Amino acid sequence: MFFILHWIFPLRVKIEYSQLMLAKNDQVLHAFLTSDDKWRMKTELDEIIPKLKKAIVYKEDKYFYNHWGVNPIAISRALFNNILQGHKTSGASTITMQVARLLSPKKRTYANKVIEMFRALQLEWKYSKDEILQIYLNLVPYGGNIEGVKAASLLYFGRMPHQLSLAQITALAIIPNRPTSWVIGRTNEAIVKARNKWLKRFGKANIYEPRFIKAALEEQLQATRSEAPHEAQHLAYRLRSRYSTESIIRTTIDKSKQDKIQQLVANYVRRLKVKGIYNASVLVINNHTKQVEAYLGSPFFYDKKHAGQVDGVKAVRSPGSTLKPLVYALGFDQGKLTPKSTVADVPINLNGYSPENFYKKFNGIVNIETSLANSLNIPAVKALKMIGVHYFINKLREARFEQVVKDEKKLGYSMILGGCGVTLEELTNLFSVYSNGGRYTNLCYLKSDTITTNRKLISSAAAYVITENLTKANRPDLPSSFENTIRIPKVAWKTGTSYGRRDAWSIGYNAAYTVGVWVGNFSGNGVKSLVGAEVATPLLFQVFNAIDYNSKKEWFKAPKDLKVRWVCAETGLPPNSFCESQVIDYYLPLVSPTQKCDHLKKVFVSIDGKESYCVTCRTEGKFKTVLYPNLAPEMVAFYNMEGIAYRKIPPHNPRCTRVFEHPAPVINSLSTNKEYIVDRDDPPELMLTCIAHNEVKTVYWYINDQFYKAASPNDKVFFKPTRGMIKVSCSDDQGKSSSIGIRVLYE
């Protein structure tokens, strides 16, 4: 008969629990109400400790482990007493029958009692005794919208069920009998009286040792209802949307670190508010496990005025200069750059794009080490041009930069200076690559997550070289508040400031952690003082001092394939016979440049040094060989523009027919002194072409005395004009040049 009824009326147990987000140590970080606005938290089997189990079973159903869901003796006794007294004086519900009633509440009638018995048998058939007890502890009422021991334990005592004392366990064991009249925080005296009564019964029954009973009787009850935990809100909502069906989400968050960073950032932003800065975000990655141990989308989640619920870890922002280390690392791996390689930090124009440095000044010849340490823009753009924009984007695709991939067709050289969209999560994980020997791996947010992506993004040698550069403390982006202080943690870090000073970044790492910091306004409002070095880096250092203070952990070691060599300080290339100043540089054998230094060139000059000769016009015995700086045209133009003195090659022999038998290049695409009227909003590009001698291989174009582009004499070169007088010059590789002037007007 039971099986027929079981088939006709199947048991359906569907319990909605409050979704909990747990820290790495299983402490609750964040809890969500159920859809019916209940705090109903799932108690795990391993949280039902023996003390809790004994108290509940002894009080509610002594023979719980000895019957099949229905206790015939208890039913007979209750029925006899009720008939004898003429009204209901006692019940006979087992824990299993109470579970049946909690799963499907009904009026207390004899008919419904029979249904409870049937459901109890079904429960016993389907579940083990411990599982039935677990369901009971998850559904038992505690007044208001609190259901279950775990919710009551957390909201009344601020701890998990397995952490409760015997006195607290006993209090929670008796409240379900009168959940509306026994309310912790309002009727504590009555609860203590009833609690002690049951503690004495436990003592008489030898349920617990006398010393435990004595301690529990003396324990005061000063608890009151508190708010449910709401830490790491941004991560909680992010994971909730991803794992909506999970009742318990076990994260990798280290609660201690999360709490420290939450408080630290909140205090820091409060101090920044006077400057008009209201938001900050921090992400902490454990480099050994790739687990995210702290996640702060913003310090004030409920600050509606300043969009506190925006998740700054996922928000797409301009990265400023934070991508520069990657472009230099890739240049190193391609064999095009080494730390001591030099580049001209002078004005350039790349198809109309003319970047400037942060402080609006140029530095002439600098090496890559200096360029990165000072976060110079021109060298970074040149490095990107060297390795290729497409190649760079493909590397960011491998590192899962989603917005960069979406905007791939629109991106150009400006992306290395912040002209693209990234997130703090993407940037922080990118910097963890440098601490991981150049390998990119996915982040782990859950304890169950594993490393599913593990690819070589850059070489371990490039990662080490970048780390060495980013570790140096004698840099202009060292915050002034940290000068000459022992509070500087040993980390490698890079700052960034977006255009318009809307975003301040500082990403740093050591062997143990990678920390990403963003400071700014979610509204996008720029602030004059919003500079990565002065606003974001102090917070980065504070975070490192909070989570890894005075770390004694081993630092990074140079990989075996990374070698050192002497190079000329002028070019970073292997020294030539004329290189007097040499320095040690890192390099990769069979990869790094091997050509000899060419910063000087031999020139035939007259004995008095006033004329220079070519092979054709020199006269035996009447010349000498002198070394002169082998300057690129852009450096000559820069020195002339800035009025910087340099050793110039003497004028060529005017009697030399080979050089002077052909004229200077003639600019034939524009007419001198002519007015060109263009559209103000969208001026068209003007074309530059010239007629040069057939022996000329290269011509150099200048706009207003600034080097613009080198090209073949037959190439068509285009530039976007600006309003006013414009000087256009063209020089050939034989030293001949010509210029014209045009006037540009807006229609």
232, 236, 276, 298, 698 from 301: Cα distances, Å = 9, 12, 18, 6, 61
Catalytic residue among 18, 281, 298, 321: 321
Catalytic residue among 47, 60, 369, 426: 60
The DSSP symbol for 534 reads I
Q: Answer yes or no: are the C-beta atoms of 546 and 261 closer than 8 Å.
A: yes
108, 121, 122, 449 from 9: Cα distances, Å = 20, 12, 10, 40
Q: Answer yes or no: are the C-beta atoms of 32 and 39 closer than 8 Å.
A: no
403, 515, 633 from 64: Cα distances, Å = 59, 53, 94
- Residue 43: name the closest of 146, 152, 149 by CA: 149
How many angstroms separate the CA atoms of 506 and 517, rounded? 5
616, 620, 693 from 657: Cα distances, Å = 9, 17, 14
Contacts 24+ apart (CB under 8 A), 483-492: 487/541, 487/545, 488/541, 489/541, 489/544, 489/545, 489/548, 489/549, 489/550, 489/551, 490/551, 490/555, 491/515, 491/540, 491/541, 491/544, 492/434, 492/435, 492/466, 492/467
Residue 470 CB partners (closer than 8 Å, separation 6+) = 325, 372, 434, 492, 493, 494
Residue 60 bears catalytic tag: yes
Q: 């030898």: which residue's tokens? A: 206
Kind and range of the H or E element at 582? strand 582-587
How many angstroms separate the CA atoms of 536 and 524, rounded? 16
Residue 247 bears catalytic tag: no
- Residue 538: name the closest of 474, 485, 467, 471 by CA: 485
DSSP 696-714: ---EEEEETTEEEEEE-TT
Q: Count CA atoms within 13 Å of residue 240 on its CB side.
A: 16
- Residue 702: name the closest of 633, 651, 629, 649 by CA: 633
User: 600-606 and 623-629 as β-strands: parallel, antiparallel, unpaired?
Assistant: antiparallel
Residue 79 CB partners (closer than 8 Å, separation 6+) = 92
Which residues participate in catalysis according to the annotation? Answer: 60, 321
